[in-house]
Chain A
Amino acid sequence: MTVTQGNKTRQRILAIAAIGGSLLACAAQAQTSSFTSSSKLLLTGGVTNIEGSAGGGLTPWAIIGGYGTRDQIGANAFFTNVRADDYELRTGGALVGLYDRVELSFAQQKFDTKEVGGLLGLGNGFTFTQKVYGAKVKLFGDAVLEQDSLLPQVSIGFQRKENDRGALLRALGIKSDKGTDFYVSATKLYLAQSILLNGTLRYTKANQTGILGFGTNAKDKYEAVFEGSAALLLRKDLAVGVEFRQKPDNLPFKEDHWHDVFVAWAPTKNVSVTLAYANLGNIVIKDKQKGTYLSLQVGF
């Protein structure tokens, strides 16, 4: 793929995010009833994870995205850019939160191999595109209000992923270009300590979250991986934290666990910005990939 095509895909993702954003802005302005009036407390709808689910940046949380309470509907659109030393991941998407119970999400990821694509004989700026369809259901608990109970809010969900590079992936000994991750998340705000904790258990076959397909010919089995987040609230509109995402390691090239440190800021209920420094380890032929994660979310 040429550089121009890379730019085109970038423009397309930006366009998706922009259209989503303006639709949401219209919806937010048009509201006359309290049906969509952003009634959760600031930042308690979380930010959007790289796969489109409400949560931290790397991992889904048990919270339902958007600011809708159990009587309302909420929604978000997001655009995230992860810029590591030798790669770039651009993601755009949107989610809707229904009655603080069900979350439906869509995200499109473009993984840009930049010059590594040339080194691999694929061409500079070769990209993998992955679509992620997500759904999450809250089972029980309330991460925010049940402050006299240690029990977290618990949700289960899935992320259905479809990669556009099936032929190439199969030639590399990878089993499939499609896969579904299942997860259970537990999230709790410990308000008296101003701390939020999340733990997620994910069942997955994904290589590098699915960017490099699912399973290999040698191993095509689901495994359980752990993901965790801890955040400290500094102000009602500002949180800092750390995240960890364990990953399977089935590729011929080493795959590492991911971690990051982040700061999330919500100047208003309609906008949040998350900036992180992420350590992604080895990706294909380039080791020690580190870089910035920048995410913009708009919604209500």
Chain B
Amino acid sequence: MLRKLGILFAAVGIVVGGATLTSSAHAQEGVKITDDAGIFKEFGEKAGLVKIMDDFMINLLKDPRTKPFFENSDQKRVKEQLVDQFCFILNGPCEYKGAKMKPIHANLNINRENFNALVEQLQVAMDKNNVPFRAQNKLLAILAPMHRDIVTK
């Protein structure tokens, strides 16, 4: 029993070591989805993204968990930047020229609850615009690691 537990903890130790090595990797700015040619279309291309971001912003301003971070922002500009950013990630014909994630979120005191609430509101907006669930998840898989630059609290 003790020997087995020893092996177990050794194994855990190796994995922990591995985790420490990769956790220093920075969030995926500049990463785009290149293995799914149809995904940009599934989001309705650029026009679809514009509609999704309009709905997204309405949702964010309704949700008390996200409202404080957007109500005093230049909402039009935020939406434009998000369209460009998502278009870029979805391998569409756009460049993301917006600010880096980390510096623009540094002083916002965003916690996990705020971050997850934003994800939920994005899901609601994508559902409303009929983006297939699996395509939504591919985008969220790229966005999720950005919590490391966005969540500071």
A→B interface (CB under 8 Å): 34, 37, 39-42, 69-72, 100, 139-141, 144-149, 151, 154, 156, 182, 184, 186, 191-192, 194, 201, 203, 221-222, 224, 233-236
Contact = CB atoms under 8 A, between A and B. Distances in A.
Contact of A184 (B8, B23, B112): B8
Interface residues of B, number: 35
Contacts of A139: 12, 16
B111 A71 contact: yes
Contact of B112 (A39, A42, A147, A149): A39
B121 to A, nearest CB: 12
Contacts of B120: 41-42
Given A39-B117, A222-B4, A194 B137 contact: yes
Interface residues of chain A: helix, strand, loop or mixed (majority): loop
Contacts of A221: 1
Contacts of B12: 139, 154, 156, 184
B1 A69 contact: no
A159 B69 CA distance: 43
A151 B145 contact: no
Nearest to B124: A236
Given A34-B65, A222-B1, A224-B4, A40 B16 contact: no
Contact of A203 (B4, B27, B31, B145): B4
Contacts, number: 90
Interface in B17-59: 18-19, 22-23, 25, 27-28, 31
Contacts of B144: 144-147, 191
B93 to A, nearest CB: 22
A179 to B, nearest CB: 12
A70 B18 contact: no
Interface in B95-116: 111-113, 116
Nearest to A269: B120
Contacts of B65: 34, 37, 39
A221 B22 CA distance: 38
19 contacts: A39-B112, A39-B116, A39-B117, A69-B116, A100-B112, A145-B147, A147-B142, A148-B25, A149-B19, A149-B22, A149-B25, A149-B145, A154-B16, A184-B12, A191-B141, A194-B137, A222-B1, A224-B4, A234-B133
B15 A151 contact: yes
Nearest to A100: B112
A151 B137 contact: no
Contacts of B123: 236
B138 interface: yes
A173 to B, nearest CB: 21
Contacts of A37: 65, 113
A205 to B, nearest CB: 9
Interface string B125-153: 00000000110011011101101000001
Contacts of B23: 149
A37 B18 CA distance: 33
B113 A39 contact: yes
A149 to B, nearest CB: 5
Contacts of A233: 133, 137
B19 A141 contact: yes
Given A72-B113, A146-B145, A191-B137, 8 more contacts: A39-B113, A39-B116, A100-B112, A139-B16, A145-B144, A149-B22, A184-B12, A186-B15
Given A40-B116, A139-B12, A235 B133 contact: yes
B29 to A, nearest CB: 11
Residue from the set B19, B117, B153 with the largest chain A CB neighbour count within 10 Å: B19
Contacts of A222: 1, 4
B82 interface: no
A146 B19 CA distance: 11
A268 to B, nearest CB: 12
A144 B145 CA distance: 9
- Please provide the 8 A-B residue pairs with the shortest distance between their CB atoms, ordered closest to farther: A39-B113, A69-B112, A191-B141, A192-B141, A147-B141, A148-B145, A147-B144, A222-B1
